[in-house]
Structures are given as structure tokens and as C-alpha cells.
Chains A and B, each alone.
Chain A
């Protein structure tokens, strides 16, 4: 195995394109586990952490670009990012332990394509866009289009996610991520909901996006559920309708972490609770 640590995106893309068995390394919290379990045997590892711009969170058109090598702890230390996208940051703050959060990245969480990835639903709800670097340059893709199924992504050979752009938050916007786990820490979501919504000047919900995690082979964009909120004040009737639509949009399986029936039920409850938190935040209150 060859270890390289390029200092530019172009150099990293060239190294990955030259060797189909090479793997990019960001935080390594998934890659190294699989490497050590001998589930993978890459011919080369390309460490992205020596590329300065991939280690930064930078403002862009009122939004925030998160480099692929930014650990989730760094996101949660960034006051402006947390204030703009609290739901995204709280999702990233639930991945593994303090130790894992010192290394793990949202780009890695996305590209690992685990159905229960905690940072992904709120990235999707936020309308985040991944910038993909590859041998022929860069292209942008909505984050929900990166995972295509468990462990599978839309990335082509030689491509890697270089950064993720969170758009400028709307006025009167709130976001939230909630998950269900049997334990409060060090656990994997049985179901998770990310939501981003904004209010108009009169206090009615103007925009809403909801994404469901761990209840399908990949993150589910629950557009119908989001539509039921629009034009309402987020009253109990609207939240009940949201809850039902979220459950209807879920396509869960039964496994050791929960049955399909349980997941379908709990995703609706989580959707309602996450919407309440997002509404509170949109009104400028803390939640």
C-alpha cells in the first residue's frame, strides 16, 4: 500500500484517477475500521488533510463551504456555522464519541453511504451541494444524489467529494436533526429526521425540506411531508399531517436495531418533534 499526502485538490484527483484501487482518506473513522478488519485492501491511500482549503470552513455567498477534511468537532466550534445551520451541526455532533468527532467528517459520512448516517438528513434538508473533484475538474451535485444505496455512491472512478456547500440561510429559518437510539451516546440511529424550514413575515411556513434517515436504503427526501407544512403556522393539525406523511414516506426494513413497523411509527414522531424545534429556532428562540 502506498500512502500519499498531496497538497492540492488537482494532485489528489490525479493520484486517485491513476489507480482504481486507491482510496481517499479524510477522517479515517470508517476507512481505517474497514482497513483493519481487512474488508478492503486498497493499493494506495490518498490523505486529503494536507490540502489547506479542505481543512477550512469558509463563507461563500452568505452560506458556508465545509472542506472534506473538516472534522465534525471543528464544525461545532464554529459559532457562525452553528447559528446558521444548527440542525446540520447537531447531526455532526452525534457521530460517535468525542474521539471520533475529532476526526470524522460530514463528507466522509455522506460518501460512506450508510443509511443511518447522522449528518446526512439535515445536510439534505438544508439543500447542501457537494463539490466533487475528479480527473477532469469539478462538478456540483446535491448531497441527496451522492449515496445511491448502502455503501454505494454516484461518484465515478477517481472522483472524491472535496467540499460541501451549505446555502445562505433564509430569513426566519430554523433547522433541526433528531434521531432515535436506545442509548443517548455512541449509538447508531434507528431512525433520524433532518428538517429546515423558514417563516414568512406573518409567521407562516414559507419553505420546508425534510429528509429521513435509517428508514430506507438511502436518505429519503420527504417532499409531500414538507408540503403539508407550507402555508401553515405549524399548528397541531399541520404537525399531525406531517407526522403521517413522514411515516408514509418511510420504506424501512426490520433488523437488530428495530422493526419496520417501529421505525415507521417513530419516524413520524421524530418528524413532528424536529419540526417543533425548527419552528422555535425560526422564531429566533433557542431550542
Chain B
């Protein structure tokens, strides 16, 4: 079986890769493109640790076949900081200790960024519902929710 040649845009850069038809986008990101920020937690779309943005939509990259990415735009955690300058969400997560072991953090940051792009002024309930598919077994969520709310307020103040 010949491998499939896929051309896609990852974090704004055109990227080519070869993949097997049954490989997921997460497999390719981690194993072939050395972008290991997206994590495999459950591999069944339940935990959100592999969250990426595909053509503007938040999805689990473990439930996307790699060939589906042809011609699409993928945004991963690796594209979140600008060089050494952390994204305000990343900075706030550090300041407020909104992470412990860190495995869920990339997925939560990607999901939260997508939320704030769509809704700069979410209620706490909206943040909690939006992030319901990002499981965290360490923090109890409270610090995460507060960090997202505070970042949203900061970004609104700066705008």
C-alpha cells in the first residue's frame, strides 16, 4: 500500500507529509512532524488532550485521519507563542498555577484560545461548558477556569 502525500498548513506554514491512510492527524503531528505538544490521553475523543484547530474548529486530532488534513489549516499548541513571547493564556496559566502535571494543558490552552476568539467575554458557565471535553485530573479545574476568565478580562481591557 503506497503512502498518501498530504499538503496542509500547520501554524501558518505549508507542510508536506506522507502518511498511512489509517494514521490519525495526532499520530502524524507527534511521530512524524516532531510536534509533541498535542498529547494522546484517551485516543477516543473523550479527554481533549490532543485538541487542535482544524479550519477554525476545535477538534480532537486523535479523531481526524491524517489524509483528511489535505488542503486544510491546522493550528496546534506549537503555534500559540510568538517565538519567546508566550500567548496571554500561557502567561496567565503560569502566573495562576493553572496546571500541575501539564498533560492536559496544551489541549486546554488550544481550546481556551479558540473560545476567546469566538467569545471575548464568556461567562464562567460558558467557559466551563466549552472546556467540558478537556479532562484534567490534577487541578480540580478551578484555577484553569479562573485563568481563562482573567485572560479574557485582560484581553478585553487591552483591546
Name A residues whose Cβ lies closer than 8 Å to a Cβ of B.
Answer: 1-3, 5, 25, 28-29, 32-33, 35-37, 45, 47, 49, 71, 73, 96-100, 102-103, 185-186
Contacts and interface: CB of A to CB of B under 8 A. Distances in A.
Interface residues of B, number: 30
A34 to B, nearest CB: 10
Given A3-B4, A102-B54, 18 more contacts: A2-B21, A5-B67, A5-B70, A25-B68, A32-B63, A33-B44, A33-B63, A36-B62, A98-B129, A98-B133, A99-B59, A99-B60, A99-B111, A99-B133, A100-B63, A102-B57, A103-B63, A185-B129
A29 B54 CA distance: 15
Interface string B48-82: 10010010011110111101101000000000000
Given A28-B63, A103-B63, A97 B48 contact: yes
Interface string B99-117: 0000000000001000000
A32 B59 contact: no
B22 interface: yes
A33 B111 contact: no
Contacts of B54: 102
A16 to B, nearest CB: 16
A116 to B, nearest CB: 16
A98 B63 CA distance: 13
Contact of B132 (A25, A28, A186): A186
16 contacts: A1-B1, A1-B21, A5-B70, A32-B24, A32-B62, A33-B45, A45-B21, A45-B65, A73-B57, A99-B58, A99-B133, A102-B58, A185-B129, A185-B132, A186-B132, A186-B133
A3 B22 CA distance: 8
B67 A96 contact: no
B88 interface: no
Among B21, B62, B70, the most chain A Cβ lie within 10 Å of the Cβ of B21
Nearest to A97: B133
Nearest to A2: B21
B131 to A, nearest CB: 8
Contacts of A1: 1, 21-22
Nearest to A41: B22
Interface in B25-63: 43-46, 48, 51, 54, 57-60, 62-63
A28 B65 contact: yes
B8 to A, nearest CB: 13
B141 interface: no
B130 A98 contact: yes
A72 to B, nearest CB: 11
Given A1-B21, A2-B21, A3-B4, A99 B48 contact: yes
